[in-house]
Structure 1
Amino acid sequence: MKSKIFLYLFIFAALIALYQFVSANNMVKDKNGKIENLEKDITQMQDSIQKLNLKVLDVQYFTLDNNDDALAYYDHLQLEQPSRYIEDKLLETNESKGDNPLVPYEGMEGDFKINKIKTLNHKWIIADFSDGQYWGEVLIKYELKDDMSVDFTLLDHLLYTRSN
C-alpha cells in the first residue's frame, strides 16, 4: 500500500511538472510573439519619425532661422532671434485701431488683423490675416534698420472668397 501511495504521488508530481512545463512554454512563446510585434512597431515608428523629420526639414527650408546667409545680415545687431523680433514688430501693427495698416482690405465681420507669420528670409515675410469670418494672405517686404526699427512694405495680397 505504501508503494502505491508513492507511485500515485510520483505520477501526480510528474503531471504537475508536465503542466508547469507546458504552461511555461506557452507563456514564453506568447511573450516572444509580443516582443516581435513590439519590435516591428518600433521599426515602423522609427521609419515614421524619419519621414516626419524630413518633412520638418523641408518645411523649415524657407525660414530665416535656418538660412545662415540671410542671418549674416543681422550679425552686427546682436539679436538672438531676429525672426522673433521681426514677427513681434509686425504683430505690433495689429495694435492700431481698425484694420491692420498692411492689410489692403476693409474687414467685413470685424477688423482684419494679422494672425500667423513666417519670416522667409532677410527681406520677405508671408502672413495670414483674418477678421474672424474672412481670411487672406499678404507678402511683405521688410527692412530691419540699425536703430532696430523695422519698415514694412506690402508686396502682394489675396483675399479668399467665402464658399457657402
Structure 2
Amino acid sequence: MKNQIFLYLFLFTALVCMYLFVSSGNMAEANMASIVKLKEEVGTLEDSLQQSELNLLEMQYFSLENNDDALAYYEHLNIEDLTRYITDKLLETNESKGDNPLIPYEGMENDFKINKIKILNHKWILADFSDGKYWGELLIGYELKDDLGVDFTLKEHLLYARSN
C-alpha cells in the first residue's frame, strides 16, 4: 500500500510538472508574440514621430524665430522675444473701436479683428481676421523702428465667400 501511495504521488507530481512545463512554454510563446507586436508598434510610432518632426521643421521654415538673417536686422534693438513684441503691437490695432484699421472690409456680423498671426521674416506678416461669421487673410508689411515703434502696411488681402 505504501508503494502504491508513492507511485500515485510520483505520477501526480509528474503530471503537475508536465502541466507546468507545457503551460510555461505556451506562456513563453504568448509573451514572445506580445514582444514582437510591441516592437512593431514601437517601430511604427518612431516612424510617426520622425514624420511629425519633419512636418514641424517644414512648418517652421517660414518663421522669424528660425531665420537668422532676418533676426540680424533687429539684433541691435535688444528685444528678448522679437516675435512676441511684434505680435503684441499688431494685436494692439484690434483695440481701436470698430473694425481693425488694417482690414479693408466692414464687419458684417461684428467688427473685423485680427485673430492669428504668423511672422514670416523681418518684413512680412500673415494674419487671419474674422467677425465671428466671415473671415479672411492679410499679408502685412511691417517695419520695426529704432525707437521700437512698428509701422504696418497692408500689402494684400482677401475675404472668403461664406458657404452655408
Q: Find the aligned partners of 2:92 and 2:84 in 1 and give their Cα distance.
A: 12
Match of 1:147 in 2: 147
Match of 1:85 in 2: 85
Once the two structures are TM-superposed, the CA of residue 81 in structure 1 deviates from its matched residue by 1.5
TM-score by length of 1: 0.99
Matches within 5 A, 1:33-112: 33-112=33-112
Once the two structures are TM-superposed, the CA of residue 79 in structure 1 deviates from its matched residue by 1.4
One-letter amino acid of the counterpart of residue 49, structure 1:
L
Superposition CA RMSD, Å: 0.6
One-letter amino acid of the counterpart of residue 155, structure 1:
K
Q: Find the aligned partners of 1:114 and 1:52 in 2 and give their Cα distance.
A: 29
Once the two structures are TM-superposed, the CA of residue 150 in structure 1 deviates from its matched residue by 0.4
Match of 1:3 in 2: 3
Q: Find the aligned partners of 1:81 and 1:73 in 2 and give their Cα distance.
A: 14
One-letter amino acid of the counterpart of residue 90, structure 1:
L
Q: Find the aligned partners of 2:37 and 2:27 in 1 and give their Cα distance.
A: 15
Q: Find the aligned partners of 1:42 and 1:82 in 2 and give their Cα distance.
A: 39
1:62 partner SS:
coil
Q: Find the aligned partners of 1:123 and 1:83 in 2 and give their Cα distance.
A: 12
Q: Find the aligned partners of 1:88 and 1:43 in 2 and give their Cα distance.
A: 42
- Percentage of identical aligned residues: 66
Structure 1: any 5+ residue segments left out of the alignment? none
1:108-142 deviations in Å (ceiling 9; x for gaps) = 00000000000000000000000000000000000
Once the two structures are TM-superposed, the CA of residue 83 in structure 1 deviates from its matched residue by 1.1
Q: Which contiguous aligned blocks of 4+ residues in structure 1 show a shift greater than 6 angstroms?
A: none
TM-score by length of 2: 0.99
One-letter amino acid of the counterpart of residue 3, structure 1:
N
